[in-house]
């Protein structure tokens, strides 16, 4: 029996190489292992918790994220891709679960505290109920599909623990109904931005997207931060503080990386040549992804069909879970 795997992304923009190295490659590996039954949600409702004033952005990016999934190798024959807002059972479960979690507990969640601090410009001192409570919605996302495995980064572990607490409390009150998921910690580290920032993102202007053209990739790489103390080509460089060297380690064969770093330290390789080589390597690595994405961009009706079929399948699973939940809660009045 395959283990039900639940994962997904918020459609607030196209996916970038940080997503690729951070989670997408692992999802494809798990999908192709034959051990899992992956359900991959496009979390548009969660995206609205901090984009409530820009629904057009979320709407547009649902298909963008779907095409990114398909382009990296997510196979709709092996994985179920679905849209969160089209599963009403998730919203219904969120309401039920909200009775099992205190506001104080949500405010103590380390991940939520960090994200609220990052959203000061949006919320000021008055965070919305929707944003504060998104871990409850996330628990509904997982349990609606009886998720057994949830791949996460270390910073997301508090959200899974919150889900565990909700499942345990529900089962203790209403009987053994919900499946408690297991977090699978990702080994991938967060990829830094081209400017050296620990976070990569559209708002920071430091990301390379999976759908970027060769010209866009080259332009971005040429602006990457290098050793600030290296002024001339023959100055001795320090690749340990150079973002170009950092990215070479992601996109360049190890032997070639060793040569790049040695020549940099010896002042034998200029930054411009190093950047051009990196741009070439990134372009070639992403070429199959970009070509596959172009296929789907030219066939929007096929993308819609995949989303409709995946969402329809997900709806059926969520309905079955809801029947069990309502029976346990004595809300099955006429059955």
Same domain (yes/no): 165, 314:
yes
Residue ranges of alpha helices (H) inside the chain are 17-19, 25-33, 44-47, 55-72, 88-98, 103-108, 110-118, 120-123, 129-132, 134-143, 157-174, 214-222, 243-251, 254-265, 271-297, 300-328
Same domain, 232 and 268: yes
Q: What is the CATH number of the domain that holds 8?
A: 3.40.50.620
Q: What is the DSSP letter of 332?
A: -
- Out of 138-152, 175-189, 226-240, which region has the weakest mean confidence (pLDDT)? 226-240
Same domain as 134, residue 95: yes
> Would you say the pTM of this structure is higher than 0.75?
yes
Torsions phi, psi for 242 (to 5 deg)? -110, 125
Summarised one tens digit per residue, pLDDT across range 95-115 is 999 999 999 999 898 888 888
Q: How far apart are CA 12 and CA 10, in angstroms?
A: 6
Better-predicted residue by pLDDT, 231 or 164? 164
Identify the three-state secondary structure at position 310: helix
> According to the model, what pLDDT value does residue 172 have?
98
Q: Do 33 and 78 reside in the same domain of the chain?
A: yes
Residue 55 counted as domain residue: yes
234: domain CATH number is 1.10.240.10
Mean of per-residue pLDDT scores for the chain = 92
Q: How many domains does the chain have?
A: 2
One domain for residues 10 and 130: yes
More confident residue, 205 or 99: 99
184 and 237 fall within a common domain: no
Same domain, 224 and 274: yes
**What would the pLDDT profile of 275-319 be if each residue is shown by its tens digit?**
999 999 999 999 999 999 999 999 999 999 999 999 999 999 999
Residue 125 above 80 pLDDT? no
With respect to residue 217, please indicate whether it lies within any of the assigned structural domains: yes
Are 236 and 114 part of one and the same domain? no
Residues 130 and 257 in one domain: no
The answer as to whether 202 is a domain residue is no
The more confidently predicted of residues 189 and 52 is 52
185 and 319 inside one domain: yes
Residue 8 lies in a domain: yes
CA distances from 39 to 12, 46, 144, 152 (A): 19, 16, 11, 14
Q: Which residues contact 254 (CB under 8 A, 6 or more apart)?
A: none
Domain assignment present for residue 333? The answer is no
193's tokens? 């931005």
65 occurs within a structural domain: yes
Instruction: Looking at the structure, tell me whether residues 47 and 186 fall in a common domain.
Output: yes
Residue 204 inside a domain? The answer is no
Query: Would 312 be classed as within a structural domain?
Result: yes
Domain hosting 285: range is 212-294
Residue 188 pLDDT: 65
Which pair of tokens denotes residue 206?
A: 């430091």
Q: Which of 106, 157, 104, 159 is nearest to 130 (CA)?
A: 106
| Mean pLDDT of all residues in 31-49 | 96
Of residues 235, 240, 144, the one with CA closest to residue 192: 240
Same domain, 241 and 161: no
């Amino acid at each position: 029996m395959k283990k039900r795997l639940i994962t997904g992304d918020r459609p607030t923009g196209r996916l970038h190489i940080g997503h690729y190295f951070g989670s997408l490659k692992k999802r494809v590996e798990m999908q192709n292992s034959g051990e899992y039954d992956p359900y991959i949600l496009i979390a548009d409702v969660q995206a609205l918790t901090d984009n409530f004033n820009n629904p057009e952005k979320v709407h547009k990016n649902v298909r963008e994220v779907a095409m990114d999934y398909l382009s990296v190798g997510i196979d709709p024959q092996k994985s179920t891709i679905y849209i969160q807002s089209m599963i009403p059972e998730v919203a219904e479960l969120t309401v039920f679960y909200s009775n099992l979690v205190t506001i104080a507990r949500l405010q103590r969640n380390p991940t939520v505290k960090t994200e609220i601090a990052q959203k000061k410009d949006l919320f000021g001192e008055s965070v919305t109920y929707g944003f504060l409570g998104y871990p409850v919605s996330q628990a509904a996302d997982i349990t609606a599909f009886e998720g057994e495995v949830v791949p996460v980064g270390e910073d997301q572990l508090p959200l899974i623990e919150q889900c565990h607490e909700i499942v345990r409390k529900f089962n203790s009150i209403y009987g053994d109904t919900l499946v408690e998921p297991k977090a699978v910690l990702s080994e991938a580290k967060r990829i830094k931005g081209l400017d050296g920032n620990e976070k990569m993102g559209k708002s920071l202007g430091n990301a390379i997207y999976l759908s970027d053209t060769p010209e866009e990739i080259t332009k971005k790489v040429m602006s990457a931060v290098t050793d600030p103390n290296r002024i001339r080509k023959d100055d001795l460089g320090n690749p340990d503080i150079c973002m170009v060297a950092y990215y070479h380690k992601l996109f360049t064969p190890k032997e070639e990386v060793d040569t790049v770093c040695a020549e940099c330290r010896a002042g034998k390789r200029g930054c411009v040549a190093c950047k051009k080589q990196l741009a070439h390597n990134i372009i070639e690595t992403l070429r199959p992804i970009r070509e596959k994405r172009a296929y789907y961009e030219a066939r929007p009706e096929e993308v819609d069909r995949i989303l409709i079929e995946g969402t329809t399948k997900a709806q059926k699973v969520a309905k079955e879970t809801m029947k069990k939940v309502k029976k346990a809660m004595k809300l099955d009045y006429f059955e």
